[in-house]
A and B are shown apart, each in its own frame.
Chain A
Amino acid sequence: TQLLEQSPQFLSIQEGENLTVYCNSSSVFSSLQWYRQEPGEGPVLLVTVVTGGEVKKLKRLTFQFGDARKDSSLHITAAQPGDTGLYLCAGGSGGSNYKLTFGKGTLLTVNP
């Protein structure tokens, strides 16, 4: 069974601070996605990374896929209250790319 461990589980910061959350596994994934989920809603895709060492930027968010494709990180610069939410990583593997394995998520609260 493939597992994705996310850390920290909870993070509460002040507006303007920077933060990094992590997603780690002992398994190799062919693709890894980051989602953001707000209360009462389904997850919304932020980014997909597929190449080891890949870095993608989405405004103030920077995503990195580890060289061995086993881990990933999400860095947010100058966090804003609108960034508050549950950040989930999900891995797809091999021929069953359709079947996503999700981590438990990092619940981020950005206080004004």
Chain B
Amino acid sequence: GAGVSQSPRYKVAKRGQDVALRCDPISGHVSLFWYQQALGQGPEFLTYFQNEAQLDKSGLPSDRFFAERPEGSVSTLKIQRTQQEDSAVYLCASSLARNRGSYNEQFFGPGTRLTVL
């Protein structure tokens, strides 16, 4: 069965350029998460969707970061006016969990490695 897929796998952007990163979660998974993993660090939470609703965006580092999941399946993370400090691997994960308090395994995609020059 298909896992979580992300595209592109690699993205090189010039400083100031806008980028869009796509995540295709596992079919039927209600919850979707975005994480940022800097080199040598563990993943850091960015935002969480339950279906199409963005229930938590507390981890987004600035208003240049925007995420959406308009139909409750595919999600896009957009970064405007990219800066060098945005260089990282952006991971997407999905899970079956249907409410905030419950825990279900999060299945991660391979990530998109963003390099901002």
**A-to-B contact residues, CB < 8 Å:** 4, 6, 30-31, 40-45, 48, 50, 88, 90, 92, 94-105
| Distance in angstroms between the alpha carbons of A98 and B45 in the assembled complex | 10
| Distance in angstroms between the alpha carbons of A101 and B31 in the assembled complex | 17
| Distance in angstroms between the alpha carbons of A30 and B107 in the assembled complex | 20
Whether the Cβ atoms of B108 and A42 lie closer than 8 Å is yes
The residue in chain B whose Cβ has the minimal distance to the Cβ of A42 is: B108
Q: 24 A-B Cβ contacts within 8 A?
A: A30-B103, A31-B103, A42-B109, A42-B111, A43-B91, A45-B105, A45-B106, A90-B42, A95-B100, A97-B101, A97-B102, A98-B33, A98-B48, A98-B56, A98-B95, A98-B100, A98-B102, A98-B103, A100-B106, A102-B43, A104-B40, A104-B41, A104-B42, A105-B41
| Number of B residues, CB within 8 Å of A | 27
- When distances are taken between beta carbons in the complex, the residues of chain A under 8 Å from B105 are 45, 48
**Which residues 90-117 of B have a CB within 8 angstroms of A?**
91, 93, 95, 97, 100-103, 105-111
| Distance in angstroms between the alpha carbons of A103 and B37 in the assembled complex | 11
| Distance in angstroms between the alpha carbons of A83 and B54 in the assembled complex | 37
**B-to-A contact residues, CB < 8 Å:** 4, 31, 33, 35, 40-45, 48, 56, 91, 93, 95, 97, 100-103, 105-111
Number of interchain pairs (Cβ within 8 Å) = 66
| Distance in angstroms between the alpha carbons of A108 and B76 in the assembled complex | 33
Whether the Cβ atoms of B42 and A103 lie closer than 8 Å is yes
Whether the Cβ atoms of A88 and B110 lie closer than 8 Å is no
- Given contacts A41-B110, A42-B110, A42-B111, whether A97 and B42 have CB atoms under 8 Å apart is no
Whether the Cβ atoms of B103 and A97 lie closer than 8 Å is yes
Which of these, B33, B35, B41, B108, contacts A44 with CB under 8 Å?
B108
- When distances are taken between beta carbons in the complex, the residues of chain B under 8 Å from A6 are 42
Beyond the given pairs A88-B42, A97-B102, A101-B45, 9 more chain A to chain B contacts, judged by CB atoms under 8 angstroms and listed by A's residue number, are A42-B4, A42-B108, A44-B108, A45-B106, A88-B43, A90-B42, A98-B97, A99-B45, A99-B48
Which 9 A-B pairs rank lowest in CB-CB distance, beginning with the nearest? A42-B108, A102-B42, A97-B103, A95-B101, A102-B43, A104-B42, A43-B108, A45-B105, A88-B42
